[in-house]
Structure formats: C-alpha cells, structure tokens
C-alpha cells in the first residue's frame, strides 16, 4: 500500500518538480498540493496524510509555524533554500531537510526514511535502495534480492517473490552501491545475496531454486567469504 502525502510550496516550479518525483517513486500517493499555507492548514486539520513535504519560508505562515499548529502532525520533510533553518527544523523532529535545488537522488533518500517510519520499521542506512525500471523508481529491500544478472549494459534483478526488474546500470556499478557484507560476485555475470545461499560446491551455487555457475576467478574469494561468515564449515 502506498504512503499518503501532501505537498506545500509557494514556488510553482518546486511543486511541479516534486509532484513528478512523487509520481515516479511508486511509493507515495499524493493526495493534495498547495501553494497557500493557510489552505494547507485547513486541509490538514480535516484530513490525515502520513507525510507532509513543505517549504519553510512562505508568506503569512512559515512551514515551521504550520507544523507547530497541528495537534498530530504527519511525518514532515522540509524544503528550503536556506540552511540556517536546519537546527530549528530538527528541534521539531522532522524526518528530513532538503535544500533546494532538490535532486531526485536526494529526494529518494528522504523517501526511504519516511517509508520506513510510516511502516513502523526501524531506520537503518543499509536496508533498501531504489532502482529505475519500467519508467519509475522502485524501492527494493536488500533481503528481497536473490541475485543480480548482467545483461551487457543492463542488469536484471531477481527477487525472492519470483519477479524480475531490468535496469540500465551495469553490474560493476551496481555492485559498488550494494553492501559488500551481503552481496558477493560469483561469476562475471552474477552477483548473489549470501543470505539466500542453500548450497555451494567448486562449480555451482544454489539459491532460491536456481543453480548458478561459480567462476574459477571468484571461487577462492567466495569460499573464503562464506567460511569467514560461518555460512559453511570447514570439514575436519
């Protein structure tokens, strides 16, 4: 289920930009957008959303003042061009603080935080990531990834629920972005999640119903990694 949100900013360009970002995430459900803080206040006193993205500096009522007026404010992500508001913002326990101009990458990091909080999960730095696939940004938890397959300039991510996602990132670049403690290269064409390994020998790795090749170049490194993590045991 998507996370409901509202967007408030008196700059129409920012409203358009963040509305497009929200649509691409496939995580957020945008219920309302506002350029007038008083109109946003009236909406928020009558309707509930899980997350509010709002500008700090606005006429009549600032974003910080608006948050203080709400009895039960939603999760808040502040948007501003002025870094001097950061200390006051975190005193209000906001989830994140985005400095304009806001990039998609930085926005997605904020989305990860609010997503975890909205679902009542503990926030960790390394529990999930976003990929661009099927004309949208998709959030995947690391434990969902079974293995990743190289297809020239693309990679195909195979998940534990049997789905696949094709993204225009090569395997080397994707490997560098994933936690080395969880993912290991077993072949020039495969990167696997060590959490899902069922069996391994000198030629193959078995996981999730798949049998993948174990390349000679990677064999020693993989075996040593798994032994050190106590995923397999040396025989006496």
More confident residue, 157 or 219: 157
Q: Which long-range contacts (CB under 8 A, 24 or more apart) does 157-161 make?
A: 157/131, 157/133, 158/208, 158/210, 160/196, 160/208
Q: Are 101 and 164 part of one and the same domain?
A: no
pLDDT for residue 235: 41
Give the domain CATH number at 158.
2.40.50.1020
Q: Are 100 and 165 part of one and the same domain?
A: no
Residue 129 within any structural domain of the chain: no
**Which range, of 9-23, 40-54, 72-86, averages the lowest pLDDT?**
72-86
Q: Are 114 and 158 part of one and the same domain?
A: no
Q: Are 84 and 151 part of one and the same domain?
A: no
pLDDT for residue 181: 73
Task: Flag whether pLDDT at 196 surpasses 50.
Answer: yes
Q: Are 113 and 8 part of one and the same domain?
A: yes
Task: Flag whether pLDDT at 117 surpasses 90.
Answer: no
For residue 75, give its domain range.
3-118
pLDDT for residue 175: 86
Task: Flag whether pLDDT at 73 surpasses 90.
Answer: no
Question: Does residue 181 contact residue 127 with C-beta atoms inside 8 Å?
Answer: no
The two structure tokens encoding residue 232:
């397999």
Q: Are 88 and 27 part of one and the same domain?
A: yes
Residue 233 within any structural domain of the chain: no
**Which range, of 5-14, 54-63, 155-164, averages the lowest pLDDT?**
54-63
Q: Are 8 and 103 part of one and the same domain?
A: yes
């Amino acid at each position: 289920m998507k996370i409901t949100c509202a967007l408030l900013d008196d700059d129409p360009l920012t409203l358009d930009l963040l509305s497009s970002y929200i649509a691409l995430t496939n995580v957020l459900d945008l219920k309302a957008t506002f350029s007038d803080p008083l109109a946003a206040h009236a909406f928020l006193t009558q309707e509930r959303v899980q997350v509010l993205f709002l500008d700090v500096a606005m006429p009549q009522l600032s974003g910080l003042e608006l948050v203080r007026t709400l009895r039960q404010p939603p999760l808040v992500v502040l948007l501003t061009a002025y870094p001097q508001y950061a200390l006051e913002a975190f005193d209000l326990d906001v989830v994140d603080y985005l400095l304009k101009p806001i990039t998609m990458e930085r926005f997605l990091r904020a989305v990860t935080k609010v997503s975890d909080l909205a679902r009542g999960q503990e926030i960790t730095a390394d529990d999930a990531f976003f990929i661009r696939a099927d004309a949208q940004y998709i959030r995947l938890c690391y434990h969902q990834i079974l293995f990743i397959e190289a297809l020239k300039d693309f990679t195909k991510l195979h998940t534990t629920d049997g789905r696949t996602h094709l993204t225009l990132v090569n395997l080397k670049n994707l490997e560098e972005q994933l936690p080395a403690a969880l993912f290991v290269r077993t072949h020039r064409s495969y990167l696997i999640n060590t959490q899902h390994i069922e069996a391994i020998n000198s030629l193959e790795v078995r996981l999730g119903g798949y049998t993948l090749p174990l390349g000679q170049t990677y064999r020693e490194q993989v075996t040593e990694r798994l032994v050190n993590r106590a995923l397999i045991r040396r025989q006496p």
